[in-house]
Structure 1
Amino acid sequence: MTHVNSDPNRPRVPLREREDLSIFWDNHLRVAFEQAAAHDLPAMVEASLAHVLVLRRTGALTAERADLLLSGLLTLWRELGPEDGRASWTPRLASPAFDGSVEDPYYFLEQQLARACGIETADLDVQLARSRNDLDAAVFRMILRRGILDIADLLLQTAADLADRAEATVDALIIGNTHRRPAQPTTIGHVLSGLAETLLSQADDLAGVYAEMNVSPLGSAAFTGTDIAIDPELEARLLGFDSAFTASYEAVAGAEHFMRLAAVQARITATGARWARVLQEWMNLRWVTTPTPFTQGSSIMPQKKNPVVLEHMVSMAGASNAELASVYNTIAAGWYEDSNNATTDVQKPLWSNTDRVIRFLRLYDGVVLALEPDQLPTPADIVRSGATTTAVAEALATRSVPWRAAHGLVGRLFRAGEPLTWTPEQVAEALAAGGIADPDGSLVELVLASGREPERILQRPQAGSPGIAPVLATVADIRDQIAELREEFGARRAHLDASRAALLAASAHPERVAGSLTVIGNANLDVIVHGATEIPAPGTERIVDDIEVRLGGSAAIAAQRAAQLGVPTRLVTKVGADPAAGVVRDLLAAEPLGLDLIVADGTPSGLTVVAEAPGRDRSFLSSLGAMAELAPDDVPADALSAGVVLSSGYFLLPGLQRDALSTVLRRAKDAGARTALDTGDPDDGWTPATRADVLAVLADVDLFLPNEAELCGVAELADVEAAAAALVARTGCTVVAKLGASGALVADADGVRRLGAPRITPVDTTGAGDSFNAALLSALLHGVALDDAAEFAVATASALVAARAEDREAVLRDAGARFLPV
């Protein structure tokens, strides 16, 4: 047998375009790289920053090796990442050139990271405790979740514009069709309000898809996890994921989130295409204008103005459905294990469809904004179409005429002619023929009126009907739903942006994540009146033992004490533009302490007067001043990149309570920090509202640091151990309570433990609780176990209470040097 290609003179069709590449590399790997690298690489760099930070924190990588990798990754981020403030899901840069030196974006990342670090690829540790499997799975989720947010923004904007147009056309009567035939009167507003609800349904579906998409697979490695010390939950938070995986196998093999996204993308375009067909008919009937910006002319017929945008929208829906089929068929072709079929190979159609859906919605919304009534059908046109006949039958049914009899009677009348041609005699004869009595002629009048007045539909009161009032009510409900969904999606986008900002800040200063403390709260001057037992009578003066001015504010004291213990500490507070602020600054500047003293112009600094005398508890008079204005926006993003973020002085900071503080604490957790809270005692006692506020905040707190009265007050229980156990069960936080001379109490998932205090002779108890907080958190930041850290805090606070003021700094530095590991 002679083969057709055996002729040596016949030129062969080449199997590759580039001779420097193999057939496989040229026809697949090159193309796949060029399609994917622009999307994949920024997400890979971002995921790698979080991974290396976690390896550094757990000790799986030394600080030196981790910091070199972080430096290189930040260089790549500047080269490949999005510019600041970029909102779009699309990448900033096109794909790098495929030079054939590496096979895919992952190996390109390693190649470029080695270059940025000035080392060989063999010296890289970025893939320690990580597989390309879980990295790819994470990167795909990270890319698509931002695409979901972009689609959601457009969906909700289009729904809002539909609601506006529905309100404006609430009385624009038209003929509604079923099965492409005239059916009943309705209004443009009624149709548009229904269309807006379809978009809300799609947006609600997207919210569910996002929730499933925003789960981190990192830490599952190839699919069984790793024996290396890592922290998947921390890695997830650093990247803005809502949680880490629960089953490592599904984390890398799963494709449910991909299929759900493809389905909702097809839903959006399919329903939009249906609407485009209806709108084209309205334009053809001239019920609405044909907007020129969305049309094209004819090459031969000068009168034509073709609304081809609607045809294109229908075709785009067909392409979207094809992408859906491609995703499902490709996934179905793969085994339930990590495979390219169910993961890598479906990314291109999902990305393509994300782009298509965004363009589709832009067209959709543009056409909605241009929608204007033109030559609406007249009432006579509506009547002639037969659209009012149902109203006639229903009117008869309200007069006790059986529905089937009324339906048949109206059908016979319409077959004889449309309602405008009906005469009283004709209707009376039809009633009589149907055996329907009408002694006073009222049914005749009812039939004629109901069949000739389509505008009656505007007065229909039924919810959801074309009546003006029901449509306006629907529009109001739609706007409420839009507002809720916008808030939800806006919060998700803000969460991603804040997580990225915190990750970049933490990567630039990785030492802060592992061992630093940020304290957010109150700083002011304390004017301490020693020997004061009561306020003098009006018009009198009393000489006291001593009046002392010292640094005050629980946050300031805790930060100062932590710095004296040798912990890198940063204080964020707000002061006024006055001399008192300068004194506060000078008192704090003496310590190795990072200061963010935000100045509130036109507002005085806070000030506290303390009355103190032997044998009685101290009493306080405080003016909040600028502290009352401290708000989440005052807290720098990089300040949250710390090992622990402590909020102190809760009840003196009205701008940082409940939701405002929760926002800051969640950002801190996203940045990898543990969060701690010391509320202090409320000025008006533990009211139900106060208790509810604090309990809400505790959902975002890792360590709650109350004293005994505060613990019992918030838990509404008299027994301190029962109160601590109840808070742990209710909020999930760990409680470390200060019990004064009785020591401390620790409560967590392992139970409640009491820790005793040494017997001392108190000299000055001012700031004892804040010193306890500083010592506890300092020990935890040095890796000391919780109970041991609490014992160290009790011992340190006790030593300070027994020391003279001039000796306290030395006591702290000695305690830090002797008990805290280097």
Structure 2
Amino acid sequence: MEPADPRVSDNSVFPNPVYKETVLRPLFDGAKTHHVDGFRAIDRAHLVMLAETGILPRETASRIARALIAIEREIEPAALTYTGEVEDYFFLVEAELRKRLQPDDNGRLHTGRSRNDIDHTLFKLALKPRLDKLAGQLRALIAAALTLVEREKATLIVAYTHGQPAQPSTLGHYLSAAIEVMLRDHRRLMQARELLDLCPLGAAAITTSGFPLDRHRTAHLLGFEAPLRNSYGCIAAVDYTTAVFSAIELVFLHLGRLIQDLQFWTAFEVGQIYVPNAFVQISSIMPQKRNPVPIEHLRHLASQTMSRARMVRDIVHNTPFTDMNDSEGETQDAGYQTFESGGRVLDLLAALLPALSVDSRRVAETIRRSCITVTELADTLVRQEGLSFRAAHEIAAAVARAVVAKDGDLPRDGYAPFAAAFRHAAGREPQLSREDFATAVSPENFVALRERFGGPGPTALGEALAAYRAELAAAEDAATAIAKREDAARRELDAAFNALAGAA
């Protein structure tokens, strides 16, 4: 006896209640929350193209256009509750079109397209403004950092390596290093955005269509730079997702390091950065406490953002190179939280940085206790006394040990041990006078001499700041150009669609 065909006896009805609540309802809610405008724009652009190419008679396209307008006027997506009567938001719109169109017009809007290419176009349309906003917030942070650099470009700080005082520098020079990283991160965001500007619409399910679709026209009307060429890649190569979230992950991984330094530098034992009262919370029990809590919030929010971005990227790992749900609705929806928490970090850090100031008393005391200017003594001995750097290094090390041992001050107390160490190493008296010695080991001299490309000296730092400002201005101009192009495309689409809807 042959086994029964389960398809014959299958009396189940779609959707299964559990599947409805665990998958279909969240997907529907995500679509109505994030993608309604995208659906409407795609429908309009595709319909205009169908009419312009003659795939649909203009009269038919006009009736469909008026039905789409009626749906937009009569249905408020936010008020919709998923019932399971249709599979998703796409099919809800199709069902509403059937109510308003004659049988001969039903389904004609879907000519030459699939939910596959629609979905990836939707996701790109949703990601572009989010990425543009985040990139704008990053540029605002860079501008805020530049403001602080200009104000504090000559303000001495202690630069640390391995958690220990290393050399004197300036806050401006330190922050300039962070600005360079932020500018590189911004470039990576913009490189990822280039992938978002390639339109998948017209790829249909996999291989485009037998209809003479004009993919360049729909891409233009939707504000894309161009169509994405390979139709298989349109529905399978989700590198636009991995590129966007990889770039975002790096932004907040790198900012986390800057934030961690702020946490360290504001610690009581270090105290070289002062946080004003507006950014300080008190203890509920300890009256003396000044807690710069916003820095902690920056740290954990940056980590949350980085982790959310990494999650989206990692979901694609080991998925097949084909159309698949792993990179679609639920993953994209989860990824949108990345922009929310990331935006909070960028806004808060942009407000905090210009409010910070250097506690120069604490900086001077740390410089005194650590003898971190002694590197310049070694350099000076090479230049003025003709010693090898290794011999000069050994003399400088002996001076530092002697001054630290007596908790002294290097410019004031270092000359005697210097002269003794020099005589021992060189077999002669130094030419360097006490006054020249004090100048050589001063932190101001240390910074002023370092005028090499990329250094903290005033000329070198000034050249760097001019370059940063130029790159930031160019980035702003590029963002403005993109916004103008996309705004012009929206106006063109509205005009073409409205003309179609008004056609007799």
TM-score by length of 2: 0.88
1:218 and 2:209 are equivalent in the alignment: no
Q: Tell me if the contact between 2:147 and 2:354 (Cα under 8 Å) persists in the aligned partners.
A: no
1:236 maps to what in 2?
A: 219
2:33 maps to what in 1?
A: 38
1:53 and 2:52 are equivalent in the alignment: no
2:484 maps to what in 1?
A: 494
Of residues 412, 418, 429 in structure 1, which corresponds to 2:420? Answer: 429
Q: Which amino acid aligns with 2:383?
A: T
Q: Tell me if the contact between 1:165 and 1:189 (Cα under 8 Å) persists in the aligned partners.
A: yes
1:124 and 2:85 are equivalent in the alignment: no
Superposition deviation, residue 314 in structure 1: 1.5
SS of the residue aligned with 1:377? helix
2:294 maps to what in 1?
A: 309
1:457 maps to what in 2?
A: 447
Per-residue displacement from partner, 1:709-762 (whole Å, max 9, x unpaired)?
xxxxxxxxxxxxxxxxxxxxxxxxxxxxxxxxxxxxxxxxxxxxxxxxxxxxxx
SS of the residue aligned with 1:417? helix
Q: Tell me if the contact between 2:197 and 2:225 (Cα under 8 Å) persists in the aligned partners.
A: yes
Q: Which has the higher contact order (CA 8 A, sep 6+)?
A: 2
Aligned mates of 1:167, 1:498 — CA distance in 2: 38
Superposition deviation, residue 416 in structure 1: 2.5
Superposition deviation, residue 297 in structure 1: 2.7
1:471 maps to what in 2?
A: 461
Per-residue displacement from partner, 1:529-555 (whole Å, max 9, x unpaired)?
xxxxxxxxxxxxxxxxxxxxxxxxxxx
More helix by share: 2
Aligned mates of 2:379, 2:72 — CA distance in 1: 68
Superposition deviation, residue 301 in structure 1: 2.1
Moved more, 118-127 or 208-217: 118-127
SS of the residue aligned with 1:174? strand
Q: Specify whether residues 118 and 227 from structure 1 end up closer, same or farther in structure 2 by C-alpha distance, changes over 3 A only.
A: closer
Q: Tell me if the contact between 1:382 and 1:454 (Cα under 8 Å) persists in the aligned partners.
A: no
Q: Which amino acid aligns with 1:433?
A: H
Of residues 410, 427, 432 in structure 1, which corresponds to 2:396? Answer: 410
Within 5 Å, which residues of 2 pair with 1:293-332?
A: 293-332=278-317
1:191 maps to what in 2?
A: 174
SS of the residue aligned with 1:185? strand
Aligned mates of 2:214, 2:74 — CA distance in 1: 28
Q: Which consecutive unaligned segments of at least 5 residues does structure 1 have?
A: 1-19, 82-92, 514-822
Q: Between Structure 1 and Structure 2, how many residues are aligned?
A: 482
Q: Which amino acid aligns with 2:51?
A: R
SS of the residue aligned with 1:332? coil
Aligned mates of 1:274, 1:108 — CA distance in 2: 47
Q: Which amino acid aligns with 1:57?
A: E
Q: Specify whether residues 380 and 298 from structure 1 end up closer, same or farther in structure 2 by C-alpha distance, changes over 3 A only.
A: closer
Of residues 79, 92, 102 in structure 2, which corresponds to 1:108? Answer: 92
Q: Specify whether residues 159 and 79 from structure 1 end up closer, same or farther in structure 2 by C-alpha distance, changes over 3 A only.
A: farther
Q: Which amino acid aligns with 2:83?
A: D
Q: Which amino acid aligns with 1:55?
A: L
1:133 maps to what in 2?
A: 116
Aligned mates of 1:94, 1:272 — CA distance in 2: 36
Superposition deviation, residue 189 in structure 1: 1.3
SS of the residue aligned with 2:282? coil
1:397 and 2:388 are equivalent in the alignment: no
Q: Which amino acid aligns with 1:37?
A: K
Superposition deviation, residue 182 in structure 1: 0.4
Per-residue displacement from partner, 1:221-278 (whole Å, max 9, x unpaired)?
0011100121001111111111112110011101111111111111111222211121
Identity of aligned residues (%): 26
Aligned mates of 2:91, 2:45 — CA distance in 1: 18
Q: Tell me if the contact between 1:395 and 1:446 (Cα under 8 Å) persists in the aligned partners.
A: no
Moved more, 403-412 or 95-104: 95-104
2:229 maps to what in 1?
A: 246
Q: Which amino acid aligns with 1:302?
A: P
Aligned mates of 2:29, 2:420 — CA distance in 1: 79
Q: Specify whether residues 363 and 199 from structure 1 end up closer, same or farther in structure 2 by C-alpha distance, changes over 3 A only.
A: same
Q: Which amino acid aligns with 1:497?
A: D
Aligned mates of 1:268, 1:355 — CA distance in 2: 14
Per-residue displacement from partner, 1:426-457 (whole Å, max 9, x unpaired)?
212212322x2544532776554322444541
SS of the residue aligned with 2:441? helix
1:172 maps to what in 2?
A: 155
Aligned mates of 1:295, 1:478 — CA distance in 2: 31
Superposition deviation, residue 114 in structure 1: 4.2
1:808 maps to what in 2?
A: none
Superposition deviation, residue 393 in structure 1: 1.5
1:572 maps to what in 2?
A: none
Within 5 Å, which residues of 2 pair with 1:15-34?
A: 22-34=17-29
Aligned mates of 2:232, 2:336 — CA distance in 1: 25
SS of the residue aligned with 1:392? helix
Per-residue displacement from partner, 1:75-130 (whole Å, max 9, x unpaired)?
4556789xxxxxxxxxxx85742232222222233234445x45679813221100
1:485 maps to what in 2?
A: 475
2:238 maps to what in 1?
A: 255
Aligned mates of 1:497, 1:79 — CA distance in 2: 26
Q: Tell me if the contact between 1:214 and 1:242 (Cα under 8 Å) persists in the aligned partners.
A: yes
Q: Tell me if the contact between 1:396 and 1:446 (Cα under 8 Å) persists in the aligned partners.
A: no
TM-score by length of 1: 0.55
Q: Specify whether residues 78 and 294 from structure 1 end up closer, same or farther in structure 2 by C-alpha distance, changes over 3 A only.
A: farther
Q: Which amino acid aligns with 1:396?
A: L
Aligned mates of 1:426, 1:304 — CA distance in 2: 42
SS of the residue aligned with 2:253? helix
Within 5 Å, which residues of 2 pair with 1:580-591?
A: none
Q: Specify whether residues 392 and 324 from structure 1 end up closer, same or farther in structure 2 by C-alpha distance, changes over 3 A only.
A: same
Q: Specify whether residues 96 and 385 from structure 1 end up closer, same or farther in structure 2 by C-alpha distance, changes over 3 A only.
A: farther
Q: Specify whether residues 48 and 388 from structure 1 end up closer, same or farther in structure 2 by C-alpha distance, changes over 3 A only.
A: same
Superposition deviation, residue 293 in structure 1: 3.5
Superposition deviation, residue 66 in structure 1: 0.9
SS of the residue aligned with 1:175? strand
More strand by share: 1
Per-residue displacement from partner, 1:159-193 (whole Å, max 9, x unpaired)?
11111110011121111111111011011111222
Of residues 280, 296, 299 in structure 1, which corresponds to 2:263? Answer: 280
SS of the residue aligned with 2:165? strand
Q: Tell me if the contact between 1:173 and 1:186 (Cα under 8 Å) persists in the aligned partners.
A: yes
Q: Tell me if the contact between 2:64 and 2:105 (Cα under 8 Å) persists in the aligned partners.
A: no
Q: Tell me if the contact between 1:255 and 1:342 (Cα under 8 Å) persists in the aligned partners.
A: yes
Aligned mates of 1:49, 1:394 — CA distance in 2: 70
Q: Tell me if the contact between 1:158 and 1:364 (Cα under 8 Å) persists in the aligned partners.
A: yes
Per-residue displacement from partner, 1:590-624 (whole Å, max 9, x unpaired)?
xxxxxxxxxxxxxxxxxxxxxxxxxxxxxxxxxxx
SS of the residue aligned with 1:223? coil
Q: Specify whether residues 286 and 428 from structure 1 end up closer, same or farther in structure 2 by C-alpha distance, changes over 3 A only.
A: closer
Q: Which amino acid aligns with 1:508?
A: N
Of residues 258, 261, 268 in structure 1, which corresponds to 2:251? Answer: 268
SS of the residue aligned with 2:109? coil
Q: Tell me if the contact between 2:139 and 2:472 (Cα under 8 Å) persists in the aligned partners.
A: yes
SS of the residue aligned with 1:442? coil
